[in-house]
Amino acid sequence: MKSRFFIFYLVICLFWVGLVTRAVYLQIVPNQKLAEVKKRQFEKLITIKSRRGGIYDRNGVGLALSVPSYSVYADPSFIISPVKVSQQISKVLKKNWKDLYKKIKNKNKRFTWIKRHLTEDQYEKIKTFN
């Protein structure tokens, strides 16, 4: 009976020694494959689009609320036909196309504002342009 107990005890001890040895090995010895698995399983980059919160009075009436604002800009160095572009945009914005043309004709510029604070309707129409 004692020999069976001793063999059982020895097997359990060897199992625990093997388990502890493996745990120490995984913690101490650097392994590139395990590092990649860890990164894939535990690290994930998620972009969260947040909105500003509103300010409400004690009755729940909004005092200051966020309203989306749209703007149009241009990179004149990428515009192939400034006349056509300025005419298209001027129809939507109800501006003189020559004024827009003056802004976007200079190919040396990399950025110019066309109009800021567009309405939702103007934004949707301009978004459909190619």
Q: Give pLDDT, residue 36.
A: 84
* Element spanning 117, H or E: strand 112-118
Could you tell me if 85 and 75 are in contact, meaning their C-beta atoms sit under 8 angstroms apart?
Answer: no
The three-state DSSP-derived secondary structure of 36-67 is HHHHHHHCCCCCCCCCCCCEECCCCCEEECCC
Write out the two tokens for 93. 């914005």
Distances (CA, A) of 112 to 7, 48, 75, 102: 84, 29, 7, 11
What is the sign, positive or negative, of the torsion defined by CA atoms of 15, 17, 18, 22?
Answer: positive
pLDDT confidence band for 21 (50 / 70 / 90): very high
Give per-residue pLDDT as tens, 49-82. Answer: 887 888 999 999 999 988 888 999 999 988 888 8
Domain boundaries, the chain: 2-42, 70-127
Q: Report the distance separating Cα 55 and Cα 60, nearest Å.
A: 9
Q: Give pLDDT, residue 130.
A: 64
